[in-house]
Structure 1
Amino acid sequence: MNIIDELLWRDAINQQTDADGLRELTDSKAVSLYCGVDPTGNSMHIGHLIPFMVLRRFQLAGHRPVILIGGATGTIGDPSGRQSERSLQTLEQVQENVDALTAQMKKLFQAGDDNQVRLVNNYDWTKDMNVIEFLRDFGKNFSINTMLAKDVVASRLDSGISFTEFSYQILQSIDYLHLYQHEDVQLQVGGSDQWGNITSGLDLIRKKEGNEAKAFGLTIPLMLKADGTKFGKTAGGAIWLDPKQTTPYEFYQFWANTDDRDVVKYLKYFTFLSKEEIEALEEKVATEPHKREAQRTLAEEMTRFVHSEELLEQAKRISAALFSGDIRSLTADEIEEGFKEMPTFTAGKESKNIVDWLVELGIEPSKRQAREDITKGAISINGERVNELETEITAEQAIGGKFIIVRKGKKNYSLVKLG
Structure 2
Amino acid sequence: MTNGLLEDLKWRGLLYQQTDEEGLEKVLNEEKISLYCGVDPTADSMHIGHIVPLLTLRRFALHGHRPILLVGGATGMIGDPSFRADERQLLTEEQVEQNVSGLRKQFERLFDFNGESGAVLVNNNDWVGKMSAIDFLRDYGKLLSVNYMLAKENVSSRLETGISFTEFSYMLIQGLDFNHLYNNFGCRVQIGGSDQWGNITTGLEIIRKTHEEETKAFGITIPLVTKADGTKFGKTAGGSVWLDATKTSPYEFYQFWINTADADVIKYLKIFTFLDRETIEALEVSVQEEPHLRKAQLALAEEMMRLIHGEEALEQAIRISKALFSGDLKALTVGEMKDAFKDVPTSEMEKVDKNIVDFIVEAGISSSKRQAREDVTNGAISLNGERVTDLAYEVTAADRLDDAFTIVRRGKKNYKMVKFI
Q: TM-score, normalised by structure 2?
A: 0.96
- What SS class does the counterpart of residue 209 from structure 1 fall into? coil
Retained in 2: the 8 A contact 1:189–1:217?
yes
Q: 1:388: which partner in 2?
A: 390
Q: CA deviation at 1:286?
A: 0.6
Q: 2:414: which partner in 1?
A: 412
CA distance in 2, matches of 1:350, 1:118: 58
2:306 to 304, 307, 326: 304
Q: 1:333: which partner in 2?
A: 335
Q: CA deviation at 1:128?
A: 1.6
What aligned pairs does 1:5-20 form with structure 2 within 5 A after superposition? 5-20=7-22
What aligned pairs does 1:13-412 form with structure 2 within 5 A after superposition? 13-114=15-116, 116-210=118-212, 212-347=214-349, 350-399=352-401, 403-412=405-414
CA distance in 1, matches of 2:401, 2:134: 65
Superposed CA RMSD = 1.6
Q: CA deviation at 1:109?
A: 1.1
CA distance in 2, matches of 1:70, 1:368: 63
Instruction: Write the deviation string for residues 356-379 of structure 1: whole angstroms up to 9, x where unpaired.
Output: 112333434432332233344332
Q: CA deviation at 1:398?
A: 4.2
- What SS class does the counterpart of residue 70 from structure 2 fall into? strand
One-letter amino acid of the structure 2 residue matched with residue 180 of structure 1: Y
CA distance in 2, matches of 1:306, 1:393: 40
Instruction: Write the deviation string for residues 196-227 of structure 1: whole angstroms up to 9, x where unpaired.
Output: 10000000000001361000000001111001
Mean CA deviation greater in 365-374 or 112-121: 365-374
One-letter amino acid of the structure 2 residue matched with residue 141 of structure 1: L
Instruction: Write the deviation string for residues 369-416 of structure 1: whole angstroms up to 9, x where unpaired.
Output: 322333443322222333332222232244566543211232221123
- What SS class does the counterpart of residue 210 from structure 2 fall into? helix
CA distance in 1, matches of 2:27, 2:330: 58
- What SS class does the counterpart of residue 141 from structure 1 fall into? coil
Instruction: Write the deviation string for residues 288-310 of structure 1: whole angstroms up to 9, x where unpaired.
Output: 00000100110000011001100
Retained in 2: the 8 A contact 1:78–1:165?
yes
Retained in 2: the 8 A contact 1:83–1:159?
yes
Retained in 1: the 8 A contact 2:330–2:385?
yes
Instruction: Write the deviation string for residues 92-113 of structure 1: whole angstroms up to 9, x where unpaired.
Output: 1111101110111012213324
Retained in 2: the 8 A contact 1:332–1:403?
no
Q: CA deviation at 1:91?
A: 0.8
Mean CA deviation greater in 1-10 or 13-22: 1-10
User: Hey, which bits of structure 1, 4+ residues long, moved more than 6 A?
Assistant: none
CA distance in 2, matches of 1:210, 1:376: 85
- What SS class does the counterpart of residue 119 from structure 1 fall into? strand
CA distance in 2, matches of 1:348, 1:310: 37
- What SS class does the counterpart of residue 194 from structure 1 fall into? helix
| Count, aligned residues | 419
Retained in 2: the 8 A contact 1:284–1:293?
yes
CA distance in 2, matches of 1:413, 1:76: 46
- What SS class does the counterpart of residue 45 from structure 2 fall into? coil
CA distance in 2, matches of 1:31, 1:367: 72
CA distance in 1, matches of 2:92, 2:142: 29
CA distance in 2, matches of 1:248, 1:66: 28
Retained in 1: the 8 A contact 2:83–2:158?
no
Retained in 2: the 8 A contact 1:55–1:65?
yes
CA distance in 1, matches of 2:15, 2:382: 51
Retained in 2: the 8 A contact 1:332–1:402?
no
Give the gaps of 5 or more residues in structure 2: none
Retained in 2: the 8 A contact 1:356–1:367?
yes
Instruction: Write the deviation string for residues 1-36 of structure 1: whole angstroms up to 9, x where unpaired.
Output: 621111111111001000011111111111100000
Retained in 2: the 8 A contact 1:263–1:295?
yes
Retained in 1: the 8 A contact 2:112–2:118?
no
Percent of counterpart pairs with the same letter?
58
Retained in 2: the 8 A contact 1:249–1:337?
yes
CA distance in 1, matches of 2:113, 2:340: 31
Q: TM-score, normalised by structure 1?
A: 0.96
- What SS class does the counterpart of residue 218 from structure 1 fall into? strand
One-letter amino acid of the structure 2 residue matched with residue 72 of structure 1: A
Retained in 2: the 8 A contact 1:38–1:69?
yes
CA distance in 2, matches of 1:250, 1:270: 17
Retained in 2: the 8 A contact 1:58–1:64?
yes
Q: CA deviation at 1:146?
A: 1.2
Mean CA deviation greater in 95-104 or 334-343: 334-343
Q: CA deviation at 1:341?
A: 1.4
